[in-house]
Amino acid sequence: MSNAYTLSAEADRRVEAEGMSGPNWFRPPVDSHAIRALMEKRDAPAIRDTVIWIGVMIVTAGMAIALWPSWWSAPFWAIYGVMYGSASDARWHECGHRTAFKTKWMNEVVYHIAAFMLMRSPTVWRASHVRHHTDTVIVGRDPEIVAMRPPDLLRVVLNLFGLLDVPHLVRRMVLHASGQVHPEEAMYLRPADYPRVFLVARIWVAIYAVVIGLALWMGSILPFMLAGLPRMYGAWHHVLTGLLQHLGLAENVTDHRLNTRTVLMNPVSRFIYLNMNYHLEHHMFTMVPYYNLPKLHGLIADQVPAPEPSVWAAFQRLLPVLVKQLTYREAVIIPELPPGAAPYRAEVERLRPFAA
């Protein structure tokens, strides 16, 4: 990682000196009553989507086990993997915000299940995600910037199958189980939360020890196909969709319209992703539940850039910019605002010479 992106006390001082720590984000003018209505949480949609999610995993895992080790099991492993390694990302995200369910404990249960599937320490990553929303794509403050400049395209490709992420997360799990946190995590994690981090990691290590023991006893990788490996072979969907959230857009700005994009997707991807394709809307109004994001999209459409019409179209626009950043790292996409929208803040003038 480039030193500029490393979280440290020095980076904090630099960002604070630039006045970019915890910026005052632009909010579009909207009817406050309409926003309050959209912020209302309900259990029914989240219960429905969770039952479908878990149900699909149970059915496909059962079929895959029944057909194992025949290649006829492969389609069922593929579906199970996406539900485990990608759909869990959206459930982790929404339940981490505590907005999926109205009932608090339901959010917590699903959040911890999804965090285990993703190998993301629930306490560390909740703190990390709070920082991501407070300092979205602020270099030196945001711990969740997916690709730095110039972009490491090989790393992006390898992480389609978790080949770099998973070893990194396993090392963190072992570090936490040993009673330590990483120095970067210490920049946003409260010391009071350390014991919880260590306890969860030790429980997870014990679970994976059982999985390893079963695999050795059976002389088969089947246990790993159910827990662990799907975080790799099923990660591609959440990586592809996650890349489109912020990549190629501006760093160090105070308007989410400049650093976050919305992409229209098919119903299956929207279910896997829990409507997080409406990502600009989510960042502007974080407490709106995922099932209300399409309505929020319609409410503020006249104040934000038009969404990318598809994942394919979004990558067609994004990839040439990433290639430019390999040699000209300041290249950036500046989305066009609709007529009558509140203009970008003056900081956009800094970006215009680098517009791609």
Full 3-state SS string of 65-91: HHHCCCHHHHHHHHHHHHHHHHHHHHH
Torsion over CA: 261, 115, 120, 135 (sign): positive
Q: What type of residue sits at position 207?
A: I
Q: Helix 194-218 vs helix 165-177: angle between axes, to the nearest 10 degrees?
A: 120
Q: Round to whole Å and give the CA distance between 9 and 217.
A: 48
Q: Round to whole Å and give the CA distance between 326 and 151.
A: 6
What's the confidence (pLDDT) of residue 1?
Answer: 44
What's the confidence (pLDDT) of residue 314?
Answer: 98
Which residue reads 């703190």 in tokens? 127
Q: Round to whole Å and give the CA distance between 108 and 78.
A: 27
| pLDDT under 70: residue ranges of the chain | 1-2
Which residue reads 């990839």 in tokens? 319
Q: Round to whole Å and give the CA distance between 147 and 329.
A: 12
DSSP letter at 63 equals H
Helix, strand, coil percentages, rounded to 5, for the chain: 60, 0, 35
Q: Round to whole Å and give the CA distance between 344 and 336.
A: 10
What's the confidence (pLDDT) of residue 143?
Answer: 94
Assigned token pair, 191: 């010391």
pTM comes to 0.94
Q: What is the largest CA-CA distance in the chain?
A: 67
**Interacting residues of 86 by C-beta distance below 8 A, sequence separation 6+:** 234, 235, 236, 237, 238, 239, 241, 272
What's the confidence (pLDDT) of residue 19?
Answer: 87
Of the candidates 279, 340, 295, the residue with the CA atom closest to the CA atom of residue 36: 295
